[in-house]
Amino acid sequence: MTTQTLDGVRISTQANVYFGGKCVSHSVEFADGTKKSVGVILAAELTFNTGAPEIMECVAGGCEYRLAGTDAWVASGPGQQFSVPGNSRFDIRVADAYHYICHFG
Amino acid sequence: MTTQTLDGVRISTQANVYFGGKCVSHSVEFADGTKKSVGVILAAELTFNTGAPEIMECVAGGCEYRLAGTDAWVASGPGQQFSVPGNSRFDIRVADAYHYICHFG
Query: Quick check: is B1 in a domain?
Result: no
Q: What are phi and psi of B89, to 5 degrees?
A: -155, 165
Instruction: Report chain B residues whose CB lies below 8 A from the CB of A7.
Output: 10
Q: How does residue B1 score in pLDDT terms, banded at 50, 70 and 90?
A: confident
- Whole-angstrom Cα distance, residue B13 to residue A60? 9
Query: Quick check: is B70 in a domain?
Result: yes
Query: Quick check: is B52 in a domain?
Result: yes
Domain that holds residue B92: 10-104
Q: Do the chains contact at A14 and B42, CB–CB below 8 Å?
A: no
Q: Do the chains contact at B8 and A8, CB–CB below 8 Å?
A: yes
CB B53 within 8 A of CB B85: yes
Q: Do the chains contact at A22 and B26, CB–CB below 8 Å?
A: no
CB A59 within 8 A of CB A75: no
Query: ipTM for the complex?
Result: 0.95
Q: What is the mean pLDDT of residues A26-41?
A: 97
Query: Quick check: is A92 in a domain?
Result: yes
For residue B69, give how far its alpha carbon lies from the nearest alpha carbon of chain A (Å). Answer: 30
| pLDDT exceeds cutoff 90 at A36 | yes
Query: Quick check: is B93 in a domain?
Result: yes
For residue B49, give how far its alpha carbon lies from the nearest alpha carbon of chain A (Å). Answer: 22
Q: How does residue A1 score in pLDDT terms, banded at 50, 70 and 90?
A: confident
pLDDT attached to residue B8: 97
Query: Quick check: is B71 in a domain?
Result: yes
Residue B70 sits in a domain whose CATH number is 2.60.120.10
Mean pLDDT of chain A: 97
Residue of B nearest to A40 (CA): B15
pLDDT attached to residue B89: 97
Query: What does the pLDDT look like over B36-46, one tens digit per residue?
Result: 999 999 999 99
Report how many domains make up chain A: 1
Scored b (16 or more CB within 10 A) or e, A38-67 reads bbbbbebebebebeeebebbbbbbbbbbbb
Query: What does the pLDDT look like over A44-95, one tens digit per residue?
Result: 999 999 999 999 999 999 999 999 999 999 999 999 999 999 999 999 999 9
Q: What is chain A written as a DSSP string?
A: ----EEEEEEEESSPEEEGGGTEEEEEEEETTS-EEEEEEEEEEEEEEE-SS-EEEEEEEE-EEEEETT----EEE-TT-EEEE-TT-EEEEEEEEEEEEEEEE-
B84 touches chain A (CB under 8 A): no
Q: Do the chains contact at A59 and B24, CB–CB below 8 Å?
A: no
